[in-house]
Chain A
Amino acid sequence: MTELFSISFSPFILSFKLAGFTTLILFIAVLPFAWWLSQTKSRFKPILEALTALPIVLPPSVLGFYLLVLLSPDSALGSFFEDMFDLKLVFSFAGLVVASCLYSFPFMVQPLQNGFEGLNKHMLEASYLAGKSTAKTLFSVALPNIKPSLMTALIITFAHTVGEFGVVLMVGGSIPGETKVASVAVYEMVETMEYGVAHLYAAVMLLMSFTVLLGVYLFHYRNKKSLGIIS
């Protein structure tokens, strides 16, 4: 029990901070893209959908490797950020946020896109015929009518970012208080054979992940019940 109070909670705080930033940035950046994907008849749509889904199937180490190359100070992007904003994108918290946004991208896009595609098309048209712009229709009609998908997108993106390991390890390393998130901390504890602390870290992660998922499924259950889909 004393071990529980002696462990550092900084990796958990860092994980939650990273997940919070990633979820917020992704939601703002992805919302117009998911809306556009759901409404477009462009022949490029399948290509964009395939690109969007890539992080789901790519091994995290592959994605981490590409990100490391792309964001390193030797690359055009890395040197641009370093020169212009004095921002290092590898082995830094900012780099972790960029990597997490790419890694969790499909988890934000897909539920939102599916939600928008499932909406009654006539409802959106009724808003346009009422004289409303696309933006007004998106925020006043579309988003409030896809609450379950919205909840799924936000919570799963958050939870998925908390659970990241491969990508964050490759791009961020393990700098305490800067890039050493909870999943990396568990890995280190196991490597150094500190199984007691590893157990505690792992149990906290397990409990948090289960609570988040239970929250999502309870929300869906109550939503279906209120709509009369289940009795």
Chain B
Amino acid sequence: MIAVKIEKALHGVHGSMRLTVDKEIKKGDFVAIMGESGAGKTTLLRVLAGLEDAQEEIVVEGRSWSALPPQKREIGFVFQDYALFENMSVEENLLFVNKERELCNRLLDITQLSTLREHNVTMLSGGQKQRVALCRALMKRPRVLLMDEPFSALDTSMKERLYGEIKQLHQAFGMTTIMVSHDVNTTFSLASRVWILHEGRIISDGTPQEVLLQKSPTYNTKVLRIHKSDTHTVATVYFSGTLLEVEVDADIKVGEMIEVSVKGVMV
């Protein structure tokens, strides 16, 4: 269990505000923090890592981290820009953290980087750098993995490939992971819990389904067209600025008014 109580004055997009977090996280949870830019998401991660000062009470599995410097916190951190050590090869980046060659080999195998182990990190693609950053963060066998928008520089197909690797590593290392993300797809693919941060406060907390998928209000709208198949009747309607196809009862006619609502991502 991780208990987090943080208070910090911030200067966000809406002027001065306070970052206020008081939450508990179960061991093994995968928390995604979402919210607009300047809401305090990255600052929250940095305070957890000990990189920024704040009034904090952080207790991780019974041990207080509040007075500990970053070196003493059992944290793995994946930065948005990866922040790899550019004077080192892939393997040296990992072994700099910890000399356990066996763990290094295992991580490089899982992330399919074994053939690139001797390469300097400046020669790698964005996806490869991201995987090295992830492996490096895991070399410390952290209790908590923090990731700050780890996929923001990657294309969709690369993201999809990495989701599987991250899930596998998250489970294999039994970590608690906290990730800042703007991407709903990433959050749905990886997270077990979502926090929506707004002006320094968590305004929503639950599973991705609970937090992100919301039912819209119900609107009355006119049926524009009916298409019948053997098993379904589909009506085309105008809804909130767009045309939708919805399945309706077989006796609905064109021109009739029907009630429609949708469930989707409302962030």
Chain A interfacial positions (CB closer than 8 Å to B): 120, 122-123, 125-133, 140-141, 144-145, 227
Contacts and interface: CB of A to CB of B under 8 A. Distances in A.
A91 to B, nearest CB: 45
Chain B residues touching A, majority SS:
loop
A225 to B, nearest CB: 14
Contacts of B84: 123, 126
B51 interface: yes
Contacts of A131: 71-72, 97, 140
16 contacts: A120-B83, A122-B79, A123-B83, A123-B86, A125-B70, A125-B77, A127-B85, A128-B51, A128-B70, A129-B49, A129-B71, A129-B75, A131-B71, A131-B140, A133-B71, A141-B85
Contact of A122 (B69, B71, B81): B81
B173 to A, nearest CB: 16
Contacts of B8: none
A interface, by DSSP: helix, strand, loop or mixed? helix
A131 to B, nearest CB: 5
Given A131-B140, A140-B96, A126 B83 contact: yes
A127 B77 CA distance: 10
B136 interface: yes
Contacts of B139: 130
Given A120-B81, A129-B75, A144-B87, 13 more contacts: A122-B79, A122-B81, A123-B83, A123-B85, A126-B84, A126-B85, A128-B71, A129-B51, A129-B73, A130-B139, A131-B71, A131-B140, A145-B85
A130 B83 contact: no
A129 B70 CA distance: 5
Interface string B118-152: 00001000000000000010011000000000000
Interface of B: 49, 51, 69-73, 75-77, 79, 81, 83-87, 96-98, 122, 136, 139-140
A133 B87 CA distance: 18
A81 B75 CA distance: 51
Nearest to B78: A126
A126 B77 contact: yes
A125 B51 contact: yes
B136 A122 contact: no
B75 to A, nearest CB: 6
A145 B87 contact: yes
A122 B46 CA distance: 11
B96 A145 contact: no
8 closest A-B pairs by beta carbon, nearest first, are: A122-B83, A144-B87, A130-B97, A122-B79, A128-B70, A123-B83, A126-B83, A131-B71
Nearest to A226: B122
A30 B239 CA distance: 69
Contacts of B96: 127, 130, 132, 140
Contacts of B87: 141, 144-145
Nearest to B142: A129
B79 A130 contact: no
A132 B98 CA distance: 10
Contacts of B70: 125, 128-129
Contacts of A127: 85, 96
Contacts of A145: 85-87
A126 B75 CA distance: 10
A129 B77 contact: yes
A122 B86 CA distance: 12
B66 to A, nearest CB: 17
